[in-house]
Amino acid sequence: MIILHCLKKSTWENHKDEKFYGEEYLSTCGFIHCSDIDTFCKVAPNFKDINEPLVLLCIDTALVQPEIKWEDLEDCGTRFPHIYGLLNIDSVVEIMPFLKDVSDGFDKMDLPL
């Protein structure tokens, strides 16, 4: 299964050659926020005010070394995958541009399904 993690392209460029990613998320949240392809549209609005290029990491859950927990921590009725540990970069199978549609939402037409 593929899950997504959105981040600034500049951040990815700084970490893509490392073995692991996500230390800053673990120190502030305790996990790395992700979503699946169908629910990313619910979190996409969180990125609308970021004016620099964003990317989506397409992560193969079968390759992720740390535990992934599907949780609804905000009682919103949707469970999201959270990675509880540093993400091994070799589980990232594709990097996609974050494509905003005309309403500043998210266009998922180019995502691997």
User: Of 22-26, 29-33, 68-72, 108-112, which range is least confident?
Assistant: 108-112
Closest CA to 20 of 81, 85, 110, 89: 89
Amino acid at 113: L
- Three-state secondary-structure class, residue 105: coil
Whether 113 maps to a domain, the answer reads no
Whether 36 maps to a domain, the answer reads yes
Question: What's the pLDDT tens digit per position in 4-42?
Answer: 999 999 999 999 999 999 999 999 999 999 999 888 888
Q: Which residue has the higher pLDDT, 100 or 34?
A: 34
Residue 64 sits in which domain range? Answer: 2-97
Q: Which residue has the higher pLDDT, 92 or 51?
A: 92
Closest CA to 98 of 65, 50, 39, 32: 50
Whether 112 maps to a domain, the answer reads no
Residue 112 dihedral angles phi and psi, to the nearest 5°: -70, 125
Amino acid at 21: Y
Mean pLDDT of the chain: 89
Whether 105 maps to a domain, the answer reads no
Q: How many domains does the chain have?
A: 1
Whether 13 maps to a domain, the answer reads yes
Q: For tokens 């990125």, what's the residue?
A: 47
The DSSP call for residue 102 is: T
How far is residue 75 from each of residues 40, 53, 80, 96, 101, measured CA to CA in Å? 17, 30, 11, 29, 27
Which CATH number does the domain housing residue 6 bear? 3.20.170.20
Residue 39 dihedral angles phi and psi, to the nearest 5°: -105, 0
Whether 21 maps to a domain, the answer reads yes
Question: What's the pLDDT tens digit per position in 75-89?
Answer: 889 999 999 999 999
Whether 58 maps to a domain, the answer reads yes
Whether 108 maps to a domain, the answer reads no
The pTM is what? 0.87
pLDDT value at residue 44: 83
pLDDT value at residue 41: 82
Checking if the pLDDT of 109 tops 50, the result is no
